[in-house]
Amino acid sequence: MARDLAALSALERKILWLAVWMIHNANHIRANEDGLKVGGHQASCASSATIMTALYLAALRPEDRVAVKPHAGPVFHAIQYLFGNQTRDKLENFRGYKGAQSYPSRTKDTADVDFSTGSVGMGVAQTLFSSLTQDYLRARDLGQGPEGKMIALVGDAEMDEGNIFEALLEGWKHGLRNTWWIVDYNRQSLDAVVREGLWTKLEGLFGNFGWDVVVLRHGALQEAAFREPGGEKLREWIEACPNQLYSALTFQGGAAWRKRLIDDLGDQGDVTRLIEKRSDAELAALMGNLGGHDLELLTKAFEAARQHDRPVCFIAYTIKGFGLPLAGHKDNHAGLMTPTQVETLRAQMNVRPGHEWEKFEGLDVPEQTLEHVLSTAPFARKAKNRPAGARIETPALALPHQPEMSTQQGFGLLMHEIAKRDDEFARRVVTTSPDVTVSTNLGAWVNRRGLFAKEQLADIFKAERIPSTFNWTFSPSGQHMELGIAEMNLFTMLSALGLSHETFGERLLPVGTLYDPFIERGLDALNYACYQDARFILAATPSGVTLAPEGGAHQ
Ligand SMILES: Cc1ncc(C[n+]2csc(CCOP(=O)(O)OP(=O)(O)O)c2C)c(N)n1
């Protein structure tokens, strides 16, 4: 859908302003009774403001769900405020008691957060398992309307988290679809500048797992300059420039760019002319015009990706601190703009003192147009309240009694009883296990209800009439999600299945099993699932401190 670019770009500036002001207000203006540091991440917000604008004001559909990188929290809150889903009061109380949360939180924020973030990597993997959950639902005709994209805005340093890679492999096994990971490639982490060429590793990795990779490196200004005489030399220079140097020159500004470019490329000819015909400000704008700051490029790339269901990794080049005096400085992660710097920004943004929170203050596009752009954004059609998913009646189960039995055995018999039922309750149960299905006594359940896969996959042993206790047939009607041995994946899968009623409006009754000594291998994801209020049953067998006689050797 064509969107009004001038209005979008005005709103992008407003979103950045509100995010900066929200953090500034919390740190420098609001009364601070205990004297403790408040904090906030203006530079991380600035690098993602264009991507977030392109997503929420143009690309997102009501059925899409998003995990926003934690430090873009204020950008998320600002966008929700513009849409009327967030109050000024909560923004003024950002990071305070009952205020908008530091990092988007499903349970503590009042605006509709799809997936909480905070512990980096967790929200990213959650989108992948949510996509598998969506496939599971659709395979049994649950859920209506178009399928949603499960989207993560990912920090480039976040890509170091191991759980992301574990999830990628699992996603590949299940034929992952409808998942977008947008890497905010500002080439800075918390401590420093990231390694050169990280994007080539990401490109290879995602390509290997069957994802499309879309690299958004240069914005329209840069592409236009490359078409000028001498422009190709500039492109080569930019593409070869080490991350640290690019960051440092960005921080220093137009005059520093000019000196360096002339030193490296000056030819008394085309390239010199290309550089010299621009003012310092124009040169700085040109060098900062990376793909992740080009609204039109981003919206087109997202629209193109919506035409198919393959998973896509977007690598969007950005500048940490873009548009702020913090831009590019390696220490900018938790850096806060000084009151003087905020005053300068206020002047640049035409915001009058006392009007800082006004939605359209100082924008050079008529208010009516801005209102129209907001109210016609497809995302605005998303219901303000999450779906709840109908309640499922739980029947009284006839439990087989034995005078003496182990907890494992009892669990297996209980699941077998459920498997025999032909009712809505049994149909909504979904089980999952990280390669310990058989040994955690889910065998009888799986024999009756089958393993889930989008496509039928026969059990060749069965077809060949080789005797086996277990029927290992996969089909779209199967009710067991078999996972590889990765406990982080188990808990993230449970987190996604256990939020199905709120993510997709269809309630599932998930049961996960694992060996109890290995809960610790996935504890962070279990914690994350509980923090998000995911509902599931966990059966860690044998229920004891050890895995029976072999327990000690499993520690
Ligand atoms: C599991 C975990 N470890 C450490 C942190 C602390 N931390 C927060 S952000 C960050 C660096 C993030 O860098 P990047 O992902 O590139 O994001 P951006 O630069 O866009 O803010 C770190 C180490 C965290 N939030 N979660």
Q: Tell me: the pLDDT tens digits for 325-374?
A: 999 999 999 899 999 999 999 999 999 999 999 999 999 999 999 999 99
CA angle 504, 510, 512 (to 5 degrees): 135
The answer to the question of residue 254 being in a domain is yes
Task: Confirm whether 402 is domain-assigned.
Answer: no
What pLDDT does residue 384 have? Answer: 80
Phi-psi region of 20 (alpha: psi -120 to 50; beta: other; left: phi over 0): alpha
Average confidence (pLDDT) over 228-235:
98
Q: Which residue is closest in CA terms to ligand 1's atom 12?
A: 189
Shared domain check, 256 and 246: yes
**How does pLDDT run across 167-192, given as a tens digit for each residue?**
999 999 999 999 999 999 999 989 88
The C-alpha torsion from 246 through 252 and 258 to 260, rounded to 10°, is: -50
DSSP string, 415-456: HHHHHT--SHHHHHEEEEEES-TTTTT-HHHHHHH-EE-SS-
Q: Which of 236, 237, 231, 235 lies closest to 269 in space, CA to CA?
A: 231
What element of type H or E holds 207? helix 198-208
Q: pLDDT tens for residues 122-170?
A: 999 999 999 999 999 999 999 988 999 999 999 999 999 999 999 999 9
The Cα–Cα gap between 312 and 177 comes to 9
397 in any annotated domain: no
Task: Give 140 Cα–ligand 1 centroid separation in angstroms.
Answer: 38
Considering only CA atoms, which residue is closest to atom 17 of ligand 1?
A: 155
12 in any annotated domain = yes
The two tokens of residue 69 are: 């990188």
Query: According to the model, what pLDDT value does residue 124 have?
Result: 98
197 and 261, same domain (yes or no): no
Ligand 1 atom 20: residue of nearest CA: 155
Name the maximum alpha-carbon separation found in the chain: 95
Give the model confidence (pLDDT) of 259-281 as tens digits.
Answer: 999 999 999 999 999 999 999 99
Indicate the SS3 state at residue 483: strand
- Rounded to whole angstroms, the Cα distance separating 514 from 441 reads 10
- Per-residue pLDDT tens for 487-509? 999 999 999 999 999 999 999 99
| pLDDT the model gives residue 1 | 52
Do residue 87 and residue 144 come from a single domain?
yes
Q: 211 with 114, same domain?
A: yes
Number of domains in the chain: 3
Q: How far is CA 104 from CA 66, 71, 112, 470, in A?
A: 11, 9, 9, 44
Could you tell me the distance, in angstroms and rounded to a whole number, from the CA of residue 211 to the centre of ligand 1?
24
Residues 6+ apart with CB under 8 A from 191: 333
- The residue-averaged pLDDT of 49-58 equals 98
Cα–Cα dist 50/13, whole Å = 9
Domain boundary among 289, 317, 341: 289
Contact by Cβ (8 Å): 539, 411: yes
**Is residue 480 domain-shared with residue 501, that is, in the same domain?**
yes
456 located within any domain: yes
Position 256 pLDDT exceeds 90: yes
Give residue ranges with CB within 6 A of ligand 1. Answer: 44, 47, 69-71, 119-120, 155-158, 184, 186, 188-190, 320
Question: In the prediction, which pLDDT does 140 show?
Answer: 95
Rounded CA-CA distance 163/296 in Å is 33
DSSP 538-549: EEEES-SSS-GG
Q: How far apart are CA 222 and CA 437, in angstroms?
A: 54
Q: Is there a single domain that holds both residue 35 and residue 112? A: yes
Average pLDDT on 300-307 reads 98
pLDDT at residue 528, as a whole number: 98
Q: What one-letter code names the amino acid at 275? A: I
Tell me the helices (H) and strands (E) count for the chain, helix number first.
23, 11
Q: What is the pLDDT of residue 347?
A: 97
Shortest-distance Cα residue to atom 23 of ligand 1: 190
Question: Do residue 243 and residue 276 come from a single domain?
Answer: yes
Q: Are residues 431 and 481 in the same domain?
A: yes
Q: DSSP of 50-78, one letter per residue? A: HHHHHIIIII--TT-EEE--GGGHHHHHH
pLDDT at 318 over 90: yes
399 part of a folded domain: no
Instruction: Read off the pLDDT of residues 4-32 as tens digits, 9 standing for 90 and up.
Output: 999 999 999 999 999 999 999 999 999 99
For residue 153, the CA-to-ligand 1 centroid distance in Å is 13
Question: pLDDT, tens digit, for every residue of 413-432?
Answer: 999 999 999 999 999 999 99
| Final residue of a structural domain among 274, 289, 304 | 289
Å from CA of 123 to ligand 1 middle: 12
* Cα 394 to Cα 75: distance, rounded to the nearest angstrom: 42
Indicate whether this complex's ipTM tops 0.95. yes
- Asked if residue 394 belongs to a domain, the reply is no
**CA of residue 157 to ligand 1 center, whole Å:** 7
Together in a domain, 227 and 83 = no
Collect all residues with Cβ–Cβ distance below 8 Å to 291 and sequence separation of at least 6.
Answer: 215, 216, 217, 218, 219, 297, 298, 316, 317
Q: Check whether residue 370 and residue 505 sit in a common domain.
A: no
- The SS3 of residue 376 is coil
How far apart CA 530 and CA 164 sit, in angstroms, is 19
pLDDT at 211 over 60: yes
User: Cis (ω within 30 of 0) for the bond into 542?
Assistant: yes
Co-location of 203 and 251 in the same domain: no
Nearest atom, ligand 1, residue 47 CA: 20
Mutate to test the pocket of ligand 1, among 126, 189, 247, 527 (most ligand atoms within 8 A of CB): 189
Write down the mean pLDDT value for the chain. Answer: 94
Question: Do the bridges between strand 451-452 and strand 509-515 make them parallel or antiparallel, or are there none, so unpaired?
Answer: unpaired
CA of 190 to the centre of ligand 1 (A): 6
Which atom in ligand 1 lies closest to the alpha carbon of residue 118? 25
Where does a domain end: 365, 381, 397?
A: 381
- Which whole number is the average pLDDT over 104-118? 95
Q: Tokens 């005059």 appear where?
A: 255
Question: Would 391 be classed as within a structural domain?
Answer: no
CATH classification at residue 471: 3.40.50.970
Ligand 1 centroid from CA 183, angstroms? 13
* CA pair distance 555, 546, nearest whole angstrom: 9
What is residue 212's three-state secondary structure?
A: strand
Q: Does the pLDDT of residue 514 top 70, yes or no?
A: yes
Residues 178, 242 share a domain: no
138 token code pair: 């659709």
SS3 content of the chain, % helix, strand, coil (to 5): 50, 10, 40
User: Which residues constitute the domain of residue 500?
Assistant: 407-554
